[in-house]
Structures are given as C-alpha cells and as structure tokens.
Structure 1
Amino acid sequence: MTIAQICLLAACLLPLGCASIAKSRGFGKRRREGGFDNNRPREWLARQEGWQARANAAQANSWEALPVFIAGLFVASQHQAAQATVDMLALGFVAARLAYIGLYVADRASLRSLLWAAGTAASVALFFVR
C-alpha cells in the first residue's frame, strides 16, 4: 500500500472523526437531557451550537473536499505520476485537512481558510503531476 493510498483511507475517515467530535458531548446522556438522538441525528446536530456545530460543519466540508482529492489521485495514477510526488501531495492534503478541522473546531476562521486553500491546492496539483 502506498502512502497516497493510506492518505486516501485517512481522508475518507476524517468526516467520521468530525461527526464523532460533533456528537461527543451528547454521548452517554439521555435524549431528554440533551443527549445525542440517534433516531433523529441530523435534527439533533442542527440544534447544536459552538464547537459542536463547527465540528459538524467541518464534517460537511470534509465530505465536500473528498471527491476532488479522490479524482486527483485517480488522474495522477492514470498519468503514472511519480509516486513520491503523489505521496507528498497526498500527505499535504491530509495534513492540511487535519489542521483545518482543528482550526474549525477552535473557531479560527482566517487560518482555517488558509488551510482549506492549501488542501484544495494539493488536490488540484494531483491533476497535473507527471
């Protein structure tokens, strides 16, 4: 398994991590006490505020970023791009996304946007490596 493939798996798991963060405060509590409602999870998440709401937004954005990364890896593979370059771009994407999620939850909007751009740039760069 290449580093890029490991990064692909990690990128696919990032939204699930964000969802866990968003729901974490509600775990172990009864629904009537504000605990997580697995019968209506999206409605429950929509009512959250603060860092939980931001973690849920990071989840949505992680799903949105994933197709471009996957497509970039596919195109790089089709071009038989240098694996070391693909691996570095994939690592850059995952690192940017991890930092992005942390900054989103921490409510650091300007830095978060910078990391979003870096992750997007890494995904787009995958289309052009040879």
Structure 2
Amino acid sequence: MKIAIIVLFCLCAIPYIFAVISHYYRKKQFGQFDNQYPREQAAQLNGVGARAVAAQQNSWEALAVYSAALLAVVASGLDIKYLAEAAIIVLIGRILHGILYLANLDKLRSLTFVIAIAPCFYLFYVVIAVFSVG
C-alpha cells in the first residue's frame, strides 16, 4: 500500500509540473503571465505551451481515475496481489505520457495513455470480481 500512496502523491504533483511548464511558455509567447485571465491566455497558447496545458488537464483526469481505483481497493479492504506493480506502471505511464505530449508524439502518447489507465481498470476489476463471488 505504501508504494500506491507514494504514486498517488507523485500523480498529484504532475499537473503542477505542467502548470510550471505552461507558465514558462506563457511568458515566452506573451511576455508575461496574465494572472487576471489565466485560462483565456492559456487558450491562446500554441506549440509546446498549448500541449503543456493539455497535458496538465489530462493529468488531472488521470489522477481522478487512479484515485478512484485506489479508493476502491482501500474501501474493499482487500490485499491486492499486484497493487505496487500496478501503481508503478501507472506512474511510469503518466510520466511518459506527459513527456510524449510535450514532444508532440501523438501515437506513442496514446499508447502510454492506455498503458497507464489499464492498471486502474485492473484494480477495479479485482475488487468487483471479489465482491461478485461473495
């Protein structure tokens, strides 16, 4: 469980890392960060800056799915055999996903999305399967 919680912490940090990256590109593209209308400014970004914003949004979405899967595991009280391995796969997949997003390698990015989301569905499957039997 410890590794799964550490991964949760890391996944919480990833969207903020992309926020810092997009902040850099906002200053580079516009000369300053617009703190009054940050979302409007973000919508005007192009290139790597725009992809950093998209990667940040996707990171929030992935965090929600992993959090829900981990909550299901904790709520079930089950000792999931491959929980640590699943968590590490999610983290590696999410890190690669972000890097590939910034690099604009869309097909590899999509592959890492699937690799990172699959363990979350595995965790849900295990929890649901155990409760279906009982």
Q: Scaled by the length of structure 1, what TM-score is found?
A: 0.87
Letter in 2 for 1:113: S
Partner of 2:93: 96
Is contact 2:26–2:41 with CA below 8 Å preserved after alignment? no
Is contact 1:21–1:52 with CA below 8 Å preserved after alignment? yes
Partner of 1:4: 4
Give the percent of matched residue pairs that are identical in Structure 1 and Structure 2.
Answer: 37
Partner of 2:38: 41
1:19-30 residue pairs with structure 2 within 5 A? Answer: 19-27=19-27
Partner of 2:74: 77
- CA deviation vs aligned residue, 1:36-83 (integer Å, no higher than 9, x gap): 111211111111100010010011111111111111111122333436
1:47-62 residue pairs with structure 2 within 5 A? Answer: 47-62=44-59
The structure carrying a bigger helix percent of its residues is 2
From 103, 110, 127, give the equivalent of 1:113: 110
Q: Which runs of 5+ in 1 are unaligned?
A: none
Q: Which runs of 5+ in 2 are unaligned?
A: 128-134
Moved more, 89-98 or 33-42: 33-42
Q: Scaled by the length of structure 2, what TM-score is found?
A: 0.85
Q: Give 3-state SS (helix, strand or coil) of 1:37's partner.
A: coil
